Chains A and B, each alone.
Chain A
Amino acid sequence: MAGRRATKRKEASDAVEQDEVDVRAVERSPSISSATDESDSEDIELAIDSGSDGDDDRSEDTRQIVGAEEEDEDDVPKRRWAAVMDDDDGDDEEDSEEDDEGSEEVEFGSESEDEDEVVGSEEEDLASDSSEEEREHVNTIGEGIPLKWYEHERHIGYDVEGKRIQKQAGENKASTVDFFLDKQDGTLGSKSNKVWDEYNQRVVELTKEEMRAIRRIRKGMFPHLSVDPFPDLLPWATKDKLHEPMVDLPEPKARFLPSKWEAAKVVKLVRAMRKGWIKPPSELERERKEKEEEESKVYMLWSDDNKEASWKAANGLSYVPATKVKLPGHAGSYNPPKEYMEDENEDDKDMQISSKQSFDCLRKVPAYDRFVNEQFERCLDLYLCPRMRSRKGNRTAENLQRRMAEQKAKLPKPSELKPYPRKLAMEYEHDDGVCVNSVSVDPAGRWLATGSDDGIVRVFEVSTTRCLRKWILPASDKRERKVTSVSWCPAGKDVLLAVRGYQVFLLPAMASSAKGAEDTPGQLLISQSMGLLAGAEGSPMAKWSKATAKEGLGGGKHDGLCVDLGKKATQCSWHHKGDYFSTVCPSGNNMAVLVHQLSKCATQTPFNKSKGNKVVSCKFHPSKPILFVASENHVRAFHLVKQELVAKLISGSGSIISMAIHPQGDNIIVGTTASRVEWFDLDLSGKAYKVIRNHTNTVQDVDFHARYPLFASASDDGQVHVFHGMVYNDFETNPLIVPVKILKNAHAITGHLGAQSCCFHPQQPWIFTSGADGKVRLYIN
């Protein structure tokens, strides 16, 4: 087809080549040879109508459309229009030959006819061409000049001689109007293909070819029918061997020798196929399926099962199974009980599960939107969280209970450790609510002395709770009224040591002002010392003087001794022989601890330097010349004869408040502000042998029993605890400490203070306690 077309075209071109003009005609407007249909001509009429209204711009447009194809050469249009004008009639006969444009692409075969026609029409054109020069009123202004410029001029353009060409206004106007009117009247005929040429001021009749070209242009097609926008590619080299070769070179070797590379490749492939490396796709598929089946095969993995769960992983480490997810409680239900629904601010996590949703029936429950997230978090936990076996041997509750039971079995039961104080027996009356700071029992166990905040030292009969004496200490100055410490002389004499403020008083505790009463041994002792007082030199640190104390009950006055320490004293204690006694003034630096001798009315300072920060308590060793000094954090034992430090004990918790020495002297207990009682064994180490965390508040006082293996602690939480504290004489067994009795609510807590002091009966397993609530109680076994 293509070949045929090409040859045809060639023939056509050959034919045209004879005349140059002809060729041009073919090139220029080869397709304008067909007639138009009626409808088509109407279309164009309309378009051109608007142009002919006198509106210049529009007319220009039409002109441009019409002349779109001939822009390249200036002189062509004139000629063309002339040609068009000339062959006005004689085209009509050709109507029948033409088809509509729909079939025009198909009909390449009819092209030759068209072209023949074109040739014919061109001949006519040529004839008209010669008459063109004779035309007078041809516009000479040129293409580029807009007509508008000449709108108000009388001439239009210039002729060859440079004269103005006058507009033939009247004529022209008339002809314009005529044309318009003719058109309106229909005298031109509906088939009319005449248009008004504004440029040349004349009526132009379009040929059928031109009309067709216009139509095609308006449809966006090439104006010429024979232009083929997508021609078939003409192969310039064919597979047909030319008889005479184009290039006369010898054939390269590769053309006729088999390729070595290919041969190698083939060998490779063949070998691969033989060896089964390359398989046909069907076999591959089969193999793949087999493999998959093999993989998905299930078999008995645990055939020789030993039923026991193992706790060892394959690598020898202990296997720690992940903790299981916590299961939901009632609150997690889709329809929980009502009481689980109404937590406003529930701090319990378990209750918050699924944020208190409730649905009255199952169909209303939506998907849980955090489901995937929660499972993902669980996955993360499984591989990211360090796992540790909770030490079941030590930590679980059952185990603890078991161990507690064991311990209980090992330790003697409190009931086996009787006697110890268990029952409240007596209460010793004080004026209401006065804080009793200190209690002391006389060595025979008959009398009880108490020192209280109102500055009165009372003496009771233990067995009857009767108050026998009420010593009102002489008011030297009013700086301090509280009696902070009382201590009965251990030597069997009724000398009572009482500390109040800056002064320490020595009172003849049982002195009676009744008639016929003899002087008590205490009175004798005191009067004996008083005799020395006159001669003795007042030592610089303590002033010994005579003091007269009023006895509140009997109404008499008795002489006592007063030692003014110059600093506030807090505590006093006797040497076991009853001649020496020590006092403590916490703020006294090197004078904090003073040792006084009653028989000589003398005072000495055992230390040149301050021993420890803020001395709290000071006690004599029950048999050796050793002085224990308790400061805030340490207990120091000084050998008074050798003048050296024997032991230094360190308290692990809080600051020391109170101290007691075991009757054998090798064990010490201290009470601390951190609510602990610490037991020190001097034979063991400087650290506490046992720390007992029993109280909930400061331990105010501790005491050892002189005979029974008992000790007690009194604390600000209002409780007094009694312990069995057995010290063995062999050096192998450590002391045995067993709590035996909690005296609960021994004292009411008044103003942060509870039990203030405790003191064992010297012979019986009884204990006296005093408290801030103004009560002194005796507990018996």
Chain B
Amino acid sequence: MVLNKSMKQKKGKKGSAAQYLTRTQALRKLQLSLPEFRRLCILKGIHPREPRKKPKGANKTYYHVKDLAFLLHEPLLEVFRHIKAYQRKVNKAKAKQQLELAEKLCLRRPQYTLDKLVRERYPSFVDAVRDIDDPLCIVNLFSALPASKGYKIPVDSVHNSRKLSLEWQAYVVRAGCLKKVFVAVKGFYYQAEVCGQTVTWLVPHERSQVLPADVDYRVMVTFLEFYQTMLKFVFFKLYHDVNLKYPPALDADLESNAAGLNAVITEGEGAALDEEEGAGEVAEGEREGGLFDGMVFFLSRETPRESLTFVIRSLGGSVGWEGEGSKYGADHPSITHHVVDRPKLREEVSGREYVQPQWVYDSVNFGVALPVDLYGVGKKLPPHLSPFVDDEAEGYTPDYAKFVANLKSGEEQSIPSMKAQNLSKEEAEERQEQEDEARYRTELEAEVSGKDVKAVKAGSGAGASGERDEDDEEEMEGMVMTRKDRKLYEAIQKSKTTKRERAAKLTERRKKNKTRK
């Protein structure tokens, strides 16, 4: 009897109940307040997990005990406690009007660094690069935000964000790894290939940002704090790998003129490098083989200068702009392209192309310098397509993508005929589609009435019936699957059909548009 009792399992000693704690339990265990816990979680990268069984109910968030032990042994926790105690001292001094003391105390506040955390969270460099998307987005956002005392956005973190975003751009320009650009309503999406990882980041449009009141900026600033440290070290490694000195110097004059990327002076690190190419040239000399090699762009002042400069320089072009510090004036003879975003031009300089900014982005995405006359001043632009969509997989290719594909395959020679031929080709395709449909319909009918036909001439349909058997096999596979697999299988089938339907809808709409024209 006694044996039985001792052998009986106690509640909460095994399984999910022992492995996971709810957030409240975690707070109690760590003796932290919620904001402190949040801060620590953000810095350490701890997130809730989903236990199989939820011992305290489904509406709770659960943390793994190992995660919490990890937090518990974090030296930073102690620093935070010190800081808290210290802050109390400062507050006390201030309350007693001992301002001198308070000031003195402020200077000696315990400091901490986060580089250990970066190493801990990202044991290998590739891990860090893999997770670099969000840091870049946040840093780019903060570099566009105003510092605000009320929302506790410190000035130096805004400056630092700006610096980091420029450093990243400078690296991408230097490494020439920009792959895709997309101008969305939300902002500029850039995609680069770094260390075999695809890095996508979003930069807001160059407009003044309004700080919404329903956002907890403390959370974002905590994220920013970690991200800044992380980016700093990642950039160091990246710069090191391409033999550049980090941090790069900023040209004070250009920086004060808001020259952005152009103010960043990337310098070679060692003397050995200098033998190959002068340090000064390193800054200027872009990678060979870019799309815009040898082209000189001049940006009008209404164009998004920072974005265009970044994109053009990443692909080997040179950039001039209206304003201080520009290497090329507006009437410099070497300018090949003039980027304009206004309805009309008063006078045009001969010997250069006038294009709208979208020409640059589209050319990058399609990997070819597109015909300039489509993007002339004041012209109605062709649609700007997302480079992140796999048209094949979606089952629907927009007209313009088809057009460019044709252009690239070199079927058409001259541009005026291109459009006409392109259209005729589309018509041909449509005809083809219609034929396919007709055939399918006849086949379907044959299938419906097929039994009789086959019954009459059973011998002749041997080959056909073999095919049919194979068709059936797919269906029959579904019968013997387990329920889980079948659900997945059905989901796959469903997603396929929805995709197909959507593509059909788009095609139909396109046809309608065409007829309306």
Contact = CB atoms under 8 A, between A and B. Distances in A.
Given A388-B49, A397-B492, A739-B479, A305 B513 contact: no
A328 B388 contact: yes
B50 A380 contact: no
B124 to A, nearest CB: 6
Interface stretch (B131-139, B328-336, B346-354): B131-139
Interface in B287-310: 302-304
A375 B465 contact: no
Contact of B386 (A320, A329, A422): A329
Contacts of B498: 348
A313 B124 CA distance: 11
| A340, A372, A388, A400 interface centre (most CB from chain B within 10 Å) | A372
Contacts of B61: 384, 386
Given A354-B185, A371-B209, A422-B465, A745 B358 contact: no
Interface in A288-337: 288, 291, 295-296, 298-302, 305-310, 313-317, 319-322, 324-325, 327-330, 332-337
Contacts of A388: 49-50
A315 B70 contact: yes
Contact of B492 (A327, A378, A394, A400): A400
B134 A335 contact: no
A337 B385 contact: yes
B411 interface: no
B237 A338 contact: no
Contacts of B469: 414-415, 422, 741
Nearest to B49: A386
B451 interface: yes
Nearest to A426: B455
Nearest to A395: B488
A160 interface: no
Contacts of A728: none
A383 B118 CA distance: 16
A362 B399 contact: no
Contact of A387 (B42, B49, B506): B49
B61 to A, nearest CB: 6
Interface stretch (A137-145, A402-410, A620-628): A402-410
| A288, A411, A423 interface centre (most CB from chain B within 10 Å) | A423
Given A378-B134, A386-B62, A408 B302 contact: no
B141 interface: yes
Contacts of B384: 333-336
Interface string B443-483: 00000100110110010010001000100110111011100
Given A334-B185, A354-B186, A366-B205, A309 B47 contact: no
A379 B125 contact: no
Interface in A347-388: 348, 354, 357, 360-363, 365-376, 378-380, 382-388
Contact of A385 (B47, B70, B133, B233): B47
A329 B62 CA distance: 35
B233 A314 contact: no
B472 A362 contact: no
A333 B200 CA distance: 16
A302 B204 contact: no
A333 B61 CA distance: 37
Contacts of B189: 327-328
A281 to B, nearest CB: 9
B506 A332 contact: no
Nearest to B510: A339
A737 interface: yes
A379 B70 contact: no
A379 B209 CA distance: 18
A386 B48 contact: yes
A425 interface: yes
B133 to A, nearest CB: 6
6 contacts: A296-B232, A302-B128, A336-B384, A338-B510, A376-B215, A384-B48
Interface in B387-433: 388-389, 394, 398-400
A538 B478 CA distance: 54
A479 interface: no
Contacts of A394: 484
Interface of B: 38, 41-42, 45-50, 61-62, 64, 66-67, 69-70, 107, 111, 113, 115, 118-128, 130-131, 133-134, 137-138, 141, 145, 182-187, 189, 200, 202, 204-205, 207-212, 214-216, 219-220, 223, 232-233, 235-237, 240, 246-247, 302-304, 341-342, 356-358, 380-381, 383-386, 388-389, 394, 398-400, 448, 451-452, 454-455, 458, 461, 465, 469, 472-473, 475-477, 479-481, 484-486, 488-489, 492, 498, 502, 506, 509-510, 513
A694 interface: yes
A367 B384 CA distance: 18
A342 interface: yes
Contacts, number: 293
**Interface range for A:** 35 or more
| A414, A424, A721 interface centre (most CB from chain B within 10 Å) | A424
B124 A305 contact: yes
Contact of A373 (B121, B214, B383): B214
Contact of B398 (A307, A339, A408, A423): A339
Contacts of B342: 363
A427 B61 CA distance: 65
A126 interface: no
A309 B48 CA distance: 22
A692 interface: yes
Contacts of A721: 479
B185 A337 contact: no
Contacts of A274: none
Nearest to B112: A295
Contacts of A400: 485, 488-489, 492
A742 interface: yes
Nearest to A355: B185
Contacts of A385: 47-48
A387 B61 CA distance: 11
A332 B49 contact: no
Contacts of B481: 404
Contact of B302 (A310, A315, A333, A363): A363
Which 5 pairs from chain A and chain B are nearest by CB?
A: A367-B207, A327-B388, A739-B476, A354-B185, A315-B70
Nearest to A317: B66
| B64, B358, B380, B386 interface centre (most CB from chain A within 10 Å) | B386
B428 to A, nearest CB: 20
B111 A295 contact: yes
B304 to A, nearest CB: 7
Nearest to A371: B204
Contact of B134 (A322, A362, A692, A742): A322
A314 B480 contact: no
A47 interface: no
Given A338-B383, A354-B184, A383-B41, A423 B134 contact: no
B53 to A, nearest CB: 14
A693 interface: yes
Given A368-B204, A739-B479, A336 B383 contact: yes
Contact of B47 (A307, A387, A745): A387
Contact of B341 (A363, A380, A384): A363
Given A328-B182, A371-B186, A366 B386 contact: no
A300 B236 contact: yes
B172 to A, nearest CB: 18
A754 to B, nearest CB: 14
A739 B474 CA distance: 11
Nearest to A369: B210
A375 B479 contact: no
Given A384-B61, A737-B480, A745-B451, 12 more contacts: A301-B233, A314-B123, A322-B47, A327-B200, A333-B385, A334-B185, A362-B303, A382-B42, A395-B488, A425-B458, A741-B472, A744-B472
A299 B236 contact: yes
| A302, A411, A422 interface centre (most CB from chain B within 10 Å) | A302
A306 B124 contact: yes
A284 interface: yes
